[in-house]
Amino acid sequence: MKFTVALAQIAPALGDLTRNVDLYKKAVEEARKQGANLVVFPELSLTGYFLKDMVPDVAQRLDGEVMKELCRMSQDVSIVVGFVEESHDFRFFNSAAYLEDGKIVHVHRKVYLPTYGMFDEQRYFATGDRVRVFTSKLGRMGMLVCEDVWHLTCGCLLCLDGVEYVIAISSSPGRGMSTPGKMSTADTWERLNWSYAKCFGVYVLYANRVGFEDGVNFWGGSQVVAPGGDVVARGSYAKEDLVVTPVDSEVIRRERIGSPMLRDERIDVTLDELKRIKAARVHGPM
């Protein structure tokens, strides 16, 4: 199957839902004009990232009016939303929702919440507890939110579950310099995306935001990486962009025939060793 993906590299306003919904509308409309079938927005792009005590004020129930409005936008183009989700028991999650044909198809709650350096997510968010692949009309999708990608077990779980397209959304701040004119975080993210695409034989659809919050800048650089590791589209660094490119499941097929890593994966060995490691952590080495 062939389809066109658009990565909406926007600069959301902190805590301003109305303005950010308008940004979503404009990006979806432009993506639609360019023939996109799927529009991917960055992590917490509906609200901004450094929310702190604003989290309860901007949180959305899945059946709330804002989500219903976004669902209506997905009647003819699928949309990935980065937002604060409020659960029925009043917990708050850093979530990604996949909207299609006017409905919420799947929600991923961020599993790994960074709480070090400039990050303080565990203070404000509850942790997700599952990593799942789901079927959309465009193929087998899996979503990860920022820090999840840095834990390679998340990618491995998705791939063992039959993923074809790994949708990775982030609000990655720019930190350090690895080479002249390139930030260390950009370099690391690009290596991670390449590793996923190369080792697992998947497309990586990576959407990162731009803009400033509390003196912190977000570097952008959204990209689509094909199975095998070729970067087929890349967004600008540090400024808003809409990255639009076709993808083709036949590329996945060719890569997995040539490099049959998933075919040869030993899930039984992995499970046995994980049980041993878990037991050792609880009871000591066996």
Tens digits of residue pLDDT in 101-129: 999 999 999 999 999 999 999 999 999 99
pLDDT computed for residue 181 by the predictor: 66
Which of 80-84, 95-99, 236-240, 279-283 is predicted with the least confidence, judged by mean pLDDT? 279-283
How much is the CA Rg of the chain, to the nearest whole Å?
18
**Can you give the residue ranges of every domain in the chain?**
2-256
Query: CATH number of the domain at 2-256, please?
Result: 3.60.110.10
Rounded to whole angstroms, the Cα distance separating 190 from 155 reads 15
pLDDT computed for residue 252 by the predictor: 98
pTM for the structure as a whole: 0.96
In a 3-state reduction of DSSP, which class is residue 197?
Answer: helix
Q: How confident is the model at residue 286 (pLDDT cuts 50, 70, 90)?
A: low
pLDDT computed for residue 214 by the predictor: 86
Q: How confident is the model at residue 284 (pLDDT cuts 50, 70, 90)?
A: confident
**pLDDT tens digit sequence for 61-90:** 999 999 999 999 999 999 999 999 999 999
The answer to whether 84 touches 95, Cβ cutoff 8 Å, is yes
Q: How confident is the model at residue 176 (pLDDT cuts 50, 70, 90)?
A: low
Q: How confident is the model at residue 178 (pLDDT cuts 50, 70, 90)?
A: low
pLDDT computed for residue 69 by the predictor: 98
